[in-house]
Chains A and B, each alone.
Chain A
Amino acid sequence: MTARDTDWDGVRLHVVTGKGGTGKTTVAAALSLALAHASRKVLLIEAEGRQGIARLFDRPPLPYAERKIAIGLGEAHDGRDPGGDVYAMAIDPEGALLDYLHMFYGMRTAGVALTRLGMVDFATTIAPGLADVLVTGKATEATRRKQPGSASGFAYDTVVLDAPPTGRIGRFLNVSAEVSGLAKVGPIRAHADTVANVIKSPQTAVHFVCTLEEMPVQETLDGIAEMRAIPGMQVGGIVVNMARPPVLSRPELKAPPDLTAMAAALGAAGLYDPGSLAAVLAGELGEHARHIELADRERAELGATGQPIYELPLIAEGIDLAALHRLAAELRDQGAA
């Protein structure tokens, strides 16, 4: 096993959140690949029932069961370390409820009866906090699960949770507060407290995925503030996704383009009608410059939080397994895993 410093040594549950459309699921998947190095076993959990993970890995829809889905990034590229296993599962409140009843009370038939009677609909409708406790409960159970004989003593070295979007993350993770209004005592309260002990501990970090645009950045800042207000909660890194690197240096981008020189260059490259093409390209370059300027401003706002920032490039062709590996390597090189 290779000893390597990462920014999150000691974290065993990585919670990944982000505004819709920022690529939260993609980042969670890439992070799990990056974490599965040196034969480490990682569980990637989808909490929102979108089956985005299955699509990313080009698999049939994930069931409520832990299945091996991929092999992580190896430490060395010469095949000496082939990387650990990435398992994945999709958690839905219904499955989590049945699991909970079975695991803690040995009640399987009663659970099925409850489902048939609409217990789950009931729980999610009347008290969504209960559904959240069941889902986070499963994630923390997988994190705590022991496995004698494994190197770490745990069934999984790390768990990555593809969590609900930033707008709902506080409510989702702050389970004991959510439940305490409903249940002052009793088993669900005790369960919520166990869950909270894992989530509000140095074992857990909450990472934010965002793009360098105003609204996602604002939501990220709000989300971080919300997490910091919850005692014991550890804010993780900020993953800037779909970043577009500048094509020229910033001073070059600032200077107005020399249209005549550009037209001459385009003509020399054998392009037709270089004059009007230069005007078009200069327009695109100007738009790019404005984009970079805005992105720099947003990046500075994120930087002011003091959290580590990781930056992943935009992959124009779309995300496939190869792209996930590329993003995973980026995360690892930048110290996120």
Chain B
Amino acid sequence: MNPRLDIDRITDDRRTRIIVCCGSGGVGKTTTAAAIGLRAAERGRQVCVLTVDPARRLAQSMGLTSLDNTPRLVDGVDDEAGGSLHAMMLDMKRTFDEVVEAHADPARAAQILANPFYQSLSSSFAGTQEYMAMEKLGQLRRSDEWDLIVVDTPPSRSALDFLDAPERLGRFLDGRLIRILTAPVKATRPFGRVLNAGLSVMTGAMTKLLGAQVLRDAQTFITAFDTMFGGFRERAESTYRLLQAPGTSFLVIAMPEPDALREASYFVERLAEERMPLAGLILNRVHSSITGGPVSGGPVSGGPVSGGAGFSRLSAARSLAAAETLEAVSQNAGGASEAPPGYSAAAAALRLHAERMNLGTRERRVAGSFMSAHPAVPVIEVPALPDDVHDLAGLRRVGESFAWNS
């Protein structure tokens, strides 16, 4: 049995300075990151939540109405314990522009900012978001204005993209192609002949593919960018080291569903390889308890709690059998309207319960294979909520489901 993930212990520990929420798209990363930030703030931490792509209403609930790349104080947070909550949405292009301006002299910076390749690179989604999230995280951490930063990673195809971004940048910068494009002079050195031959095939092919003008733009861009590559890369690497430092905790978020857990599995293995500190797995939107602990009727359900005594005892099979009995009685009586009162409602509720139990069985099976492959990873379950979360009260309720004694 996997240990239970204690999020409060992590956020209460003053040595925790960064929490990174990772996972594939659509698993509730942003909401989880916001809920953790809010709870930590209300327990006394000075928190900044860095989010990348929040749903509009969730963003509004935190007072984030525009992308302005500056952390804003969130109103309505209980500050009795002395904590505070700031939140910001990443403006990828602006962050990139700032990096360029910080690393190049004004004339060169202007030249880079105007280049079509730079404009395409800095506003595209693939990859840039990850570098910039990493860069912004580094900036926030270095500013030392907050004692806890909660990061929501970009909505990438794969959770690994976030970790791979700096390395990919490095590989790109060290790439032979860049060397050739930026330094044709070097081709006259030893191996020059081979490189020269390669170069002409290359440039020939690239001209065919892209056209001469694109190639020239690319060369101009890379030459202009080259001088600042070093500083850029150093920063990416130092942020990467920050992620390996003891003050960082990674939380992997998944739903009890095969694709999300497969991603989570890759990610857990990858963190171990990188010696990055994994705090645990948050299993989001669980319909019935997987680890055997209580999954309550959900933080929002005010009525009778569906995790009660009868809940786990009545199996899907018995439930369906009872539903069939009631339906048969109704039919013999000449239809639902002739049947004793409560029969059709009870039969429907039993079928619903059976469906829920079956879903639970499937979730347990899927999550079980993750947990048996990673028995040491602490896990916590967050019950499926019927409503989407879009206010602080909702975030607070999600946060309550993290509590150790829920």
Contacts and interface: CB of A to CB of B under 8 A. Distances in A.
A256 to B, nearest CB: 10
Given A184-B213, A285-B352, A261 B120 contact: no
A262 B349 contact: yes
A285 to B, nearest CB: 5
Given A21-B260, A185-B211, A282-B349, A126 B24 contact: no
A265 B343 contact: yes
A19 B344 CA distance: 37
Contact of A52 (B126, B178, B259, B310): B259
A70 interface: no
B311 interface: yes
A278 B348 CA distance: 12
B53 interface: yes
A178 B350 CA distance: 54
A181 B121 CA distance: 11
A128 B125 contact: yes
Contact of A268 (B25, B178, B214, B326): B326
A102 B175 CA distance: 24
A313 B12 CA distance: 43
B171 A121 contact: yes
B168 A125 contact: yes
Interface string A118-152: 11011011111111000000000000000000000
Nearest to B131: A125
A111 interface: yes
Contacts of A119: 177, 202, 206
A200 interface: no
A301 B341 CA distance: 36
Interface in B132-162: 155, 157
Contacts of B218: 126
Interface residues of B, number: 91
A58 interface: no
B286 to A, nearest CB: 14
Given A252-B345, A280-B308, A122 B178 contact: yes
Given A122-B177, A182-B116, A110 B345 contact: no
A94 to B, nearest CB: 13
B108 interface: no
Given A111-B205, A189-B211, A248-B344, A48 B349 contact: no
Interface stretch (A31-39, A81-89, A226-234, A286-294): A286-294
Say which size band chain A's interface belongs to: 35 or more
A118 B177 contact: yes
Nearest to B307: A280
A113 B346 contact: no
Contact of A21 (B25, B221, B345): B25
A78 interface: no
A276 interface: yes
B355 interface: yes
A97 B175 CA distance: 18
B76 to A, nearest CB: 21
Interface string B218-230: 1001000000000
Interface in A232-289: 247-248, 252, 257-258, 260-266, 268-273, 276-288
A-B pairs, 8 with minimum CB distance: A186-B211, A21-B26, A261-B342, A20-B25, A20-B26, A283-B304, A265-B346, A281-B349
Interface of A: 19-22, 48-50, 52, 97, 100-101, 105, 107, 109-111, 113-114, 117-119, 121-122, 124-131, 164-165, 167-168, 171, 178, 181-189, 213-216, 218, 247-248, 252, 257-258, 260-266, 268-273, 276-288, 290-291, 294, 316-318
